[in-house]
Amino acid sequence: MPELPEVETVKRTLEPHLQGKKIIAVEIYHPGVIAFPGVDEFCKLIEGKTIQSLGRRGKYLIIQLSGGYYLVAHLRMTGRLVLAGESDPLASHTHIIFALSKGLYLHWVDTRRFGRLYLAEKDTAAFVAGLNKLGAEPLDDSFDRETLAAICSGRQRPLKQILLDQQLLAGIGNIYADEMLFLAGLSPMRPGESLSRDEIDRLYEAMQAVLQQGIANQGTSIKDYVDGFGQRGKNQDFLKVYGRAGKPCTRCGTVLVKKKIGGRSTCYCPLCQG
DNA sequence: ACAATTACCTGTATGC
DNA sequence: TGCATACAGGTAATTG
């Protein structure tokens, strides 16, 4: 599933190919993907624009266009943005095709059709996509131990829920949340406010390590995720707890446990994360 | 105000 | 074999 490291990888793989290209035409087979504005308006606005740069905020991919416009994409669960050539066969569940200059194509593919696209000028795009509601950016220079301490303090909610709350921390999903809690040696049920200074530091270090390793491995491909070239990531081979319930802990051998926390399935080691 | 549940979707795995 | 059911997970909307 596209979480921060996956969206960052998509951004890095697409950017050198998209930068400077002109959007010549767009074909929309499934209008539900366009969250804003209406489909006709979307097509009218986007055709003729030039792609200037790519950015990321949390799990959102942000494509800056000429004329002050921004195309904001959220891949949700199974969304893919992949480069293609003229004669490349269409993957099933291809909902949108962007025809670009130099004979390049960009395909929006999404099995479960949860993904959404937003197109507008800067402030409007941020608002309709929900960008301005997002919390701290975990790999940003401004995100430090103090910020994490402030996020946890006074919150009785379990750490697992805090990590997944996009209004507190942007970009962390179920896979990386479980992995960073394991690396930090913290129980996913621990209330945020119960963490000592030392435990905040451990969680901070674990967040950095887990997210950076995810990016270094080009993301985690459990099922659907691929980068801008359609390539799978390698991080699924390095997961310590996610998807390993019932198997022995890599650190102590104890059988890993699966439990629902805040309605989300959570894998952890009852001993290492006691 | 907050937490829990449901809706949105489809592919895959499981049980009978 | 075929059918029903559960589950997967990100977020918005709804319910309690």
Question: Which nucleotides in chain C lie less than 7 Å from some protein C-beta?
Answer: 7-12
Strand B closer than 7 Å to the CB of A202? no
Long-range contacts of A230-239, Cβ-Cβ distance < 8 Å, separation of 24 or more? A230/A80, A230/A82, A230/A83, A231/A13, A233/A5, A233/A6, A233/A9, A235/A5, A238/A213, A239/A175, A239/A179
User: What is the helix, strand, coil percentage profile of chain A, to 5?
Assistant: 35, 25, 40
Euclidean distance between CA atoms A71 and A196, whole angstroms: 42
Give tens-digit pLDDT for A63-72: 999 999 999 9
pLDDT of residue A225: 86
Give the pLDDT of residue A263. Answer: 84
Mean pLDDT computed over every residue of chain A: 93
Helix/strand/coil for A52: strand
CA A131 → C1' C16, Å? 29
**Main-chain phi, psi angles of A247, to 5 degrees:** -95, 160
- CA A111 / C1′ B11 distance in Å: 8
Q: Note the CA–C1' distance, A215 to C9, in angstroms.
A: 20
Q: What are the pLDDT digits (tens) for A140-169?
A: 999 999 999 999 998 989 999 999 999 999
pLDDT score, position A198: 96
pLDDT of residue A223: 79
Task: Give the nucleotide with minimal C1' distance to the Cα of A222.
Answer: C8
User: Measuring CA to CA, which residue among A237, A262, A211 is closest to residue A59?
Assistant: A211
Q: Give the CA A110 to C1' C5 distance in Å.
A: 24
User: Rg (Cα) of chain A, in Å, rounded?
Assistant: 20
Residue A208: CB partners within 8 Å, gap ≥ 6? A138, A139
> Is there contact between A58 and strand C, defined as CB under 7 Å from any strand atom?
yes
Judge whether residue A222 has pLDDT over 90: no
- Output the distance from A169 CA to B1 C1' rounded to whole Å: 20
pLDDT at A43 exceeding the cut of 90: yes
Q: What pLDDT, in 10s, does the model give residues A172-191?
A: 999 999 999 999 999 999 99
Is residue A1 predicted with pLDDT exceeding 80? no
Residue A102 φ/ψ region, left for φ over 0, alpha for ψ in the -120 to 50 degree band, beta for the rest: left
The residue type of A183 is L
Structure confidence at residue A188 (pLDDT): 93
Q: What is the DSSP letter of A113?
A: -
Nearest residue to B9 (CA, C1')? A112
CB of A167 under 7 A from strand C?
no
Torsion of CA A208, A83, A42, A9, to 10 degrees: 0
Give catalytic residue positions of A.
2-3, 59, 264
Task: Give pLDDT tens digits for A98-131.
Answer: 999 999 999 999 998 999 999 999 999 999 999 9
